[in-house]
Amino acid sequence: MERMAAQKPLELILARNLLTSISTPAFLVDQDAALVFYNEAAGALLGRSFEDVGRMSPEDWTSTYGPFKANGQPVELDELPTTRAVRDGRPAHAVFTIRSANGGKQEIESSAFPIVASEEGSSGAMIFFWPHDRSGRASP
Amino acid sequence: MRLKVWGARGSVPAPGPEMNRYGGNTSCVEITLASGEHIILDAGTGIRTLGLDLTSSPHVNILLTHLHLDHIQGLMFFPPCFRADADITIWGPASPEASLEDRVARYISAPLSPVEVRELPCDVSFRDTPPSEWQLGSATIRCEAINHRGPTLGFRITDGDTTLCYIPDHEPALGTVLADNEPEWISGYDLARDADLLIHDCQYADDEYPLHVGWGHSGMTDSLTFASRVGAQRLLLFHHDPLHADGFLDDLHAAARRRWAELGGDSASVEMAREGAVLDVEPVAAPAGISGA
């Protein structure tokens, strides 16, 4: 027998398995908006693998990676697409700047999708990232 | 607890002389609690013969893991359904789409059936499984959603100091590596942890599984790895593929025992579900299970 943290709901387990299998950078947050996983592609973007950092509270991951507004100010937790997806159970999209582990900054677009499996509401969200396309075209 | 297997086959009934020893009926397991009450796990075609065995004025609880046909097909032929003195409670996964009764009635209704649920003479009720533990007789029941195609539950049944876990349709290795994954990220882990007996999906041999990834079932090594990770004391491999005749299942059983021993377990604690088999489930003193393999 192994010690374990609280069992994750099945929908988060399946979401993590999906994110593990794709090359689009992506985060997975739980119902408290805590970062519970990000995939290898996100790790490459951020400069650190998830295995190196582990679970992070919303305050921890926003202070580590951002995001920041165009004027350089941190985006408030309440304004994050992640927060809106988890809180409101609605998808959200935003453009902002993130900071990688080596201090480099990158402008990205992010889309957050709530994960809803019961009437009790969202049990988390998946957040996908793309480099921001200034041409206005849809990013690949 | 005493367990009797009335159907161990998956997908579709597989009758025939080459299937005689393991049986051709689909999923159905009867649990007799220490208090003498009965719980029926799934209503595959095995439940028909189980029903012939029940005494007068039966009060039965049927726990459905999900509504795929191989888990409900026997309901319409369950003799107590046609007895006015029978009291039947059917528990199953909730759905926002329709009630459990309405979903089961898609099968027990025209044109698939000559009778409708409302015409059954028994007293039948349908209950969504609750999100928290509940009691049936002397047993505490808990269920959780597990990884299969469509909404599917596994059940954990604790009677006194004995715990049985029933996960007949399960693909915990889909999209992940079971041996390396953290426990909280393994489908069904918390449900099955430290069970005295785990009844688990083993539909495929290892060389068959790659052709069936995503079908919701497990290959043999994944079944054993899951059992090993959760620390199951004893493992009953279940939900045999309808193409697997007795000789094939004998070979699969031998391979499973060898693999279990390689994982550090007692090969005698891995069994193959066989129609008609009766098992007494008792608490097994630690550290009989494999820990952290």
Residue A112 backbone phi and psi in degrees, to 5: -110, 135
Q: How does pLDDT run along chain B (293 residues), one tens digit per residue?
A: 999 999 999 999 999 999 999 999 999 999 999 988 999 999 999 999 999 988 776 799 999 999 999 999 999 999 999 999 999 999 999 988 899 999 999 999 999 999 999 999 999 999 999 999 999 999 999 999 999 998 999 999 999 999 999 999 999 999 899 999 999 999 999 999 999 999 999 999 999 999 999 999 999 999 999 999 999 999 999 999 999 999 999 999 999 999 999 999 999 999 999 999 999 999 986 544 443 33
Phi-psi region of B173 (alpha: psi -120 to 50; beta: other; left: phi over 0): alpha
Is there a domain that residue B290 lies in?
Answer: no
Give A-chain residues touching B95 at CB under 8 angstroms: none
Reported confidence tier of residue A137, pLDDT bands at 50, 70, 90: low
Question: Coil, strand, or helix at residue B275?
Answer: coil
Provide the pLDDT for residue B8. Answer: 98
Is there a domain that residue A79 lies in?
Answer: yes
CB B16 within 8 A of CB B24: yes
Residue B200 backbone phi and psi in degrees, to 5: -135, 145
Provide the pLDDT for residue B227. Answer: 98
Is there a domain that residue A136 lies in?
Answer: no
Residue that wins the pLDDT comparison between B41 and A100: B41
CATH of the domain at A18: 3.30.450.20
Provide the pLDDT for residue B244. Answer: 98
Is there a domain that residue B170 lies in?
Answer: yes
| Furthest CA-CA distance within chain A | 54
CB B64 within 8 A of CB B32: no
CATH of the domain at B43: 3.60.15.10
CB B288 within 8 A of CB B255: no
> Mutate which of B184, B213, B284 to test chain A, going by most A C-beta atoms within 10 A?
B184
DSSP A81-99: HHHHHHHHS--EEEEEEEE
CB A81 within 8 A of CB A111: yes
Question: Coil, strand, or helix at residue A129?
Answer: strand
- Closest to B169 in 3D by CA, of B191, B183, B192, B152: B152
Range of the domain at A70: 10-131
Is there a domain that residue A140 lies in?
Answer: no
Residue located via tokens 């533990």: B133
Is there a domain that residue B292 lies in?
Answer: no
A8 in contact with B, Cβ within 8 Å: yes
Describe the strand order of the beta sheet including B134-136 as a list of residue ranges: B134-136, B139-145, B153-159, B162-167, B197-201, B235-238, B270-272
Is there a domain that residue B146 lies in?
Answer: yes
The beta strand positions in chain B, using DSSP E, are 2-7, 28-32, 38-41, 59-63, 87-92, 123-128, 134-136, 139-145, 153-159, 162-167, 197-201, 235-238, 270-272, 278-280
Q: Tally the domains of chain B.
A: 1
Looking at the DSSP assignment, which residues form a beta bridge with residue B173?
none
Is there a domain that residue B79 lies in?
Answer: yes
Q: How does strand B134-136 pair with strand B28-32?
A: unpaired
State the number of CA atoms in the 13 A half-sphere of B220 facing the CB.
Answer: 23
CB contact under 8 A, B189 and A20: no
Provide the pLDDT for residue A2. Answer: 59
Question: Coil, strand, or helix at residue B25?
Answer: coil
Average model confidence (pLDDT) across chain A = 86
Reported confidence tier of residue A61, pLDDT bands at 50, 70, 90: confident
Is there a domain that residue A19 lies in?
Answer: yes
What ipTM is given for this predicted complex? 0.76
CB contact under 8 A, B231 and A2: yes
Tokens of B135: 């009691």
**CA trace torsion B10, B89, B188, B147 (10° rounding):** 50
Q: Tally the domains of chain A.
A: 1
Provide the pLDDT for residue B287. Answer: 45
B18 in contact with A, Cβ within 8 Å: no
Give A-chain residues touching B176 at CB under 8 angstroms: 16-17, 20
Provide the pLDDT for residue A96. Answer: 87
Range of the domain at B8: 2-278
- Classify residue A101 as exposed, middle or buried by CB count within 10 Å of its CB (0-12, 13-18, 19+): middle
Is there a domain that residue B289 lies in?
Answer: no
| Residue in B147, B182, B289 closest to A14 by CB | B147
Give B-chain residues touching A20 at CB under 8 angstroms: 175-176
pLDDT digits (tens, 9 = 90+) for A41-53: 999 888 899 989 9
User: d(Cα B153, Cα B172) in Å, to the nearest integer?
Assistant: 13
Is there a domain that residue B291 lies in?
Answer: no
Provide the pLDDT for residue B289. Answer: 41
- Minimal CA separation from A9 to chain B, in Å: 8
Residue located via tokens 């994944």: B222
Q: What is the enclosing helix (H) or strand (E) of B190?
A: helix B189-192
User: d(Cα B75, Cα B105) in Å, to the nearest integer?
Assistant: 11
Is there a domain that residue B286 lies in?
Answer: no
What are the Cα distances from residue B281, in Å, to B41, B285, B291? 15, 12, 20
